[in-house]
């Protein structure tokens, strides 16, 4: 029986070594691409995991600092009243006015008392304890010592202070007042005479009603929230937007010794991973113990889908694209086997596809540099940056890294001061890193960061921001300015000049604003000097500004980047003459030396 033409071609094809060689090559390509995809996914996953940890460390540190500042203000209030106490100690009735004043001047202080040692005022009886407390908009005072059998000398806080002569914060407790149930913590402080003998124990009752929601106003991820626990692991406060059952579940996980509690690579933060049945998602609990009294715990919770959701979607899209590409490649291989005259076209298509696939392997993220010089093995670039915050936390940022012979750099200044601006600064830094993962046009990166900054910006905070990308092989600089001060260009033999940069508007103002990108080519030996307005607006004691002219006077192209910034910092310190720093001082210097 004669075989049909198509069957003969099929058998001939199956018996061809070239066919099986191409099939093996095709299978190898599938394996290689999947390995590349897995490695890329693994590296990007680790980068996001590190970014999540960085967010957690920053957020826990900021919230701990905010809580400590509130408690310090209560401590300082009591210490400030000691002179008034000592001055009027001979007048026992004046003590009522002292405790009443302490409650009136501090919003979070809802009660204050002076528990004198027994028989300190014989005319007042054995126990004398003036006490002031809030009732609505008024402050009432009364003498609690001995009232209804009340003996404050038996209270643990009194006994501890009387024995050790040291201050102490109590664990939070519930108190039923005339206005309802309150969550309070008490600060007790010893009042000593000139010989170091105890005269009285001074105490303030501080309300914790503000704690849960006030420190949950802004997070790195939408579903994140923060909890506060005692040293023993009991819940103090949490956001009202999260159910009590869910908060209690997190507390149980933190206290569960059978779970793995991993110490992170940064600070003293500890990680607990769990599965949340109510959300159907893996969750992460980052928590730390405050290293100062009252040694409470602060915990932040975030979820897998918000951290890695976009990465998983991107991986699926890449898999489908690679699958489609492999199907096309297989079709071309089959055609090559059936018709050898198409060999050249198939090989060209294969090389084109191979080149496109190799580009995917170049994707990587650089970490924020922590040491200077950042690139000791390179001789074509010198970078140095410094940031001096005006407060414990600041709103300035700068960053730089090299990727594919391109130097990415940015500098920014968030409006406002303190914790809110620090939160926005951390978000903007993260957005810059994430935006640079797959983008090479500064204007597109700035527009992407601006869209996210505008989303949910109910506090109307904005960020002045300047970023650029410098091609280290050609000196070609592309940059985009978002309302920031223009950088300086320094070159040997020429006076300092401002980089021609259009102002545009700051980030976080209008979501649909079209930013404009500009370009310039740097000559060898050119130095780029960037700064925030904390430099030009540095004030001396008579409120005179440092100004742009003084900045220009201290710019020299002959200095290294480190010498330039250190010299500028020294000049500012000499100018302000010890005046309090009013704004963050941030500078970044880049010298191109191919």
Structural contact between residues 284 and 304, judged by C-beta atoms closer than 8 angstroms:
yes
The one-character DSSP state at 579 is P
| pLDDT (tens digit per residue) in 156-192 | 999 999 999 998 888 888 777 666 677 888 889 999 9
Q: What is the pLDDT of residues 417-453, one digit of tens each?
A: 777 788 888 888 889 988 888 889 999 999 999 999 9
Domain boundaries, the chain: 109-207, 217-306, 381-592
Give mean pLDDT, residues 260-269.
Answer: 76
Residue 519 pLDDT: 95
Closest among 480, 443, 448 to 465, alpha carbons compared = 480
Question: What is the end-to-end Cα distance of the chain in Å, rounded?
Answer: 77
Give a three-class secondary structure readout of 30-50: HHHHHHHHHHHHHHHHHHHHH
- Split at pLDDT 50, 70, 90, the class of 361 is very low
Tokens representing 593?
């030396």
* In 106-193, alpha helices (H): 156-164
CA distance 42 to 37: 8
C-alpha of 469 from chain center:
24
Residue 352 belongs to what H/E stretch?
helix 343-360
Interacting residues of 303 by C-beta distance below 8 A, sequence separation 6+: 221, 223, 224, 276, 279, 281, 282, 283, 284
Highest mean pLDDT among 352-361, 471-480, 540-549: 471-480
CB 277 within 8 Å of CB 264 = no
Q: What is the mean pLDDT of residues 233-243?
A: 81
Stretch among 98-107, 309-318, 397-406, 581-590 having the lowest mean pLDDT: 309-318
CB count in 10 Å sphere of residue 53? 18
Average pLDDT, the chain: 82
Task: Please say if the pLDDT value at position 413 is more than 70.
Answer: yes
Residue 366 has pLDDT above 50, yes or no: no
CATH number for the domain formed by residue range(s) 109-207: 3.30.450.20
Model confidence band, residue 385 (pLDDT cutoffs 50, 70, 90): very high
Q: What is the CATH number of domain 381-592?
A: 3.60.40.10
Q: Quick check: do 109-207 and 217-306 share a fold?
A: yes
For 180: left if phi > 0, alpha if psi spans -120 to 50, otherwise beta; the answer is left
Over its C-alpha atoms, the chain yields an Rg (Å, rounded) of 33
Q: What is the mean pLDDT of residues 522-530?
A: 95
H-state helical runs in 5-16: 5-14
Mean pLDDT is lowest, of 19-33, 135-149, 407-421, 517-531, for: 19-33
Q: Rounded distance, CA 305 to CA 565, Å?
A: 42
CATH (residue range 217-306)? 3.30.450
Give strand ranges (E) for 491-549: 497-498, 517-521, 526-531
> Which pLDDT value is given to residue 571?
92
The predicted model gives 533-551 an average pLDDT of: 88
Task: Provide φ and ψ at 22, rounded to 5°.
Answer: -70, -35
Beta pairing class for 476-482 and 463-471? antiparallel
Among all chains, which residue has been given the structure tokens 């006076």?
Answer: 495
> What whole-number distance in Å separates Cα of residue 555 and Cα of residue 151?
70
Rounded CA-CA distance 536/509 in Å is 24
What whole-number distance in Å separates Cα of residue 278 and Cα of residue 280?
Answer: 6
Residue with tokens 């950088």: 487
Distance, in Å, from the CA atom of 509 to the CA atom of 415, rounded to the nearest integer, reads 12
Higher pLDDT, 469 or 177: 469
Coil, strand or helix: which one is 476? strand
pLDDT in the model for residue 504: 92
pLDDT at 368: 46
Which 8-state DSSP code applies to residue 258? T
Token representation of residue 262 = 């991993």
- pTM (two decimals): 0.43
Neighbouring CB atoms inside 10 A of 206's CB total: 25
Q: How confident is the model at residue 336 (pLDDT cuts 50, 70, 90)?
A: low
How many CA atoms within 13 Å lie on the side-chain side of 329? 24
Q: What is the CB neighbour count within 10 angstroms for residue 337? A: 18
CB atoms within 10 A of CB 113: 26
336 or 413, higher pLDDT = 413
């Amino acid at each position: 029986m004669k075989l049909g033409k198509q069957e003969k071609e099929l058998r001939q094809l199956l018996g061809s070594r070239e066919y099986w060689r191409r099939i093996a090559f095709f299978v190898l390509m599938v394996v290689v691409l999947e390995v590349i995809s897995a490695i890329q996914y693994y590296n990007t996953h680790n980068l996001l995991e590190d970014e999540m940890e960085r967010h957690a460390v920053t957020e826990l540190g900021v919230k701990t600092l905010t809580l400590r500042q509130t408690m310090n203000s209560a401590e300082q209030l009591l210490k400030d009243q000691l002179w008034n106490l000592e001055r009027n100690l001979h007048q026992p009735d004046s003590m009522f006015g002292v405790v009443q004043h302490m409650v009136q001047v501090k919003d979070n202080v809802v009660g204050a008392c002076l528990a004198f040692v027994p028989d300190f005022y014989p005319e007042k009886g054995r126990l004398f304890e003036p006490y002031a407390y809030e009732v609505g908009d008024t402050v009432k005072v009364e003498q609690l010592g001995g009232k209804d059998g009340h003996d404050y000398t038996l209270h643990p806080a009194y006994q501890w202070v009387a024995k050790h002569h040291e201050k102490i914060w109590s664990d939070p407790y519930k108190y039923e007042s005339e206005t309802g149930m309150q969550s309070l913590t008490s600060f007790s402080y010893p009042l000593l005479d000139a010989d170091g003998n105890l005269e009285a124990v001074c105490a303030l009752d501080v309300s914790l009603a503000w704690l849960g929601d006030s420190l949950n106003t802004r997070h790195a991820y939408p579903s994140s929230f923060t909890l506060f626990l005692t040293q023993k692991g009991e819940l103090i406060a949490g956001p009202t937007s999260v159910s009590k059952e869910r908060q209690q579940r997190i507390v149980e996980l933190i206290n569960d010794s059978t779970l793995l509690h991993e110490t992170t690579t940064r600070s003293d933060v500890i990680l607990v991973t769990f599965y949340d049945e109510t959300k159907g998602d893996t969750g992460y609990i980052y928590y730390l113990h405050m290293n100062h009294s009252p040694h409470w715990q602060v915990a932040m919770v975030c979820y897998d889908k918000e951290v890695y959701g976009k990465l998983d979607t991107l991986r699926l899209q890449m898999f489908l694209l690679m699958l489609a590409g492999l199907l096309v490649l297989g079709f071309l291989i089959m055609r090559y086997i059936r018709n050898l005259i198409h060999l050249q076209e198939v090989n060209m298509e294969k090389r084109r596809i191979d080149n496109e696939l190799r580009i995917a392997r170049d994707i990587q993220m650089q970490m924020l540099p922590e040491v200077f010089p950042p690139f000791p093995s390179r001789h074509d670039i010198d970078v140095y940056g410094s940031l001096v915050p005006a407060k414990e936390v600041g709103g300035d940022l700068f960053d730089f890294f090299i990727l594919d012979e391109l130097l990415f750099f940015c500098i920014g200044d968030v409006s406002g001061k303190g914790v809110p601006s620090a939160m926005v600064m951390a978000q903007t830094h993260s957005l810059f890193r994430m935006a640079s993962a797959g983008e090479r046009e500064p204007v597109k990166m700035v527009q992407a960061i601006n869209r996210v900054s505008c989303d949910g910006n109910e506090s109307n905070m904005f960020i002045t921001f300047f970023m650029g990308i410098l091609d280290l092989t050609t000196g070609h600089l592309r940059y985009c300015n978002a309302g920031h001060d223009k950088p300086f260009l320094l070159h040997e033999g020429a006076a300092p000049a401002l980089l021609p940069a259009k102002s545009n508007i700051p980030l976080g103002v209008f979501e649909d604003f079209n930013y404009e990108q500009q370009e310039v080519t740097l000559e060898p030996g050119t130095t780029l000097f960037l700064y925030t307005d904390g430099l030009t607006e540095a004030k001396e004691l008579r409120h005179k500004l440092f100004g742009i002219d003084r900045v220009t006077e201290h710019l020299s192209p002959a200095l290294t980047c480190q010498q330039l910034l250190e010299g500028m910092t020294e000049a500012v310190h000499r100018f302000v003459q010890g005046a309090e720093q009013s704004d963050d001082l941030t500078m970044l210097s880049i010298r191109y030396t191919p």
